[in-house]
Amino acid sequence: MNEYIIQFLTAGYGKEEEIAMASISGANIINYDYLLRNCYSSNRYARKGASRATYGSTELLSADSGALGKITTNLQEISYDKDNGKNIYNNAKVLIETYNNTVGSAGKTESSELERHMKKMKQFLKDNREAFESIGIKITSTGKMELDKEKMLETSSAKMEKILSGDLSKSLGKYAKKINTVAQKLLREEAAKASLKKSQANLSPNASFGTAGMSTSPNSVDVRA
């Protein structure tokens, strides 16, 4: 069993730490949609809904993996005070959505390099299934995340911190960065192909040019004869 999981499962919690995250009071609650939009700052229209259908898979992968990287950073920086439960909950929800979006867009993108990174990331989740599921993040058979709302709201903020602010989110962030690097590479290749295709389309397929710059073809008449 993963050493990190063993340390987590054997760790004891004091009475104060057992306060459920269901107490989601706090003056500075960050709205879920605002948080999601912030993570998709590179392309806010790609975050959800019908607008996602207007983008190619590589564009979505770039936006999704970028958002996943941002939320993993957020999870390492936010306050896990027991009165900040709503913010913790919203960040966890955004983690689930950005991760699932990344898995979805990657599945529609052809790249052996991308496939290797995705396989490793899914295996990472599988290896740490117990830790994620202990705070209400289920790992499905397809390798995606699923929210167990009741379980998560019953989880103490201290327990959420142990799982989401350390090595697990850092590792997910590293995978997200590698996937985003591949996405950027694929976007550049697609742009180069589109530019070449456009240049070729601008050339007349039936014409060639002589030394004098005059257009000639097999059926043209040489007026100089």
14-24 pLDDT, tens digit per residue, is 433 445 554 44
Question: For the chain, which residues make up each domain, given as ranges?
Answer: 31-194
Q: What are phi and psi of 147, to 5 degrees?
A: -80, 130
180-190 pLDDT, tens digit per residue, is 999 999 999 99
82-99 pLDDT, tens digit per residue, is 888 899 999 999 999 999
What's the rounded mean pLDDT across residues 108-125? 96
- pTM score of the predicted model: 0.78
Mean predicted lDDT score pLDDT of the chain? 83
Q: Which residues of 64-79 are buried (b: 16+ CB within 10 A; e: fewer)?
A: bbbbbbbbbebbeebe
Strand, coil or helix: 208? strand
Please tell me the distance from the alpha carbon of residue 194 to that of residue 91, in angstroms, as a whole number. Answer: 38
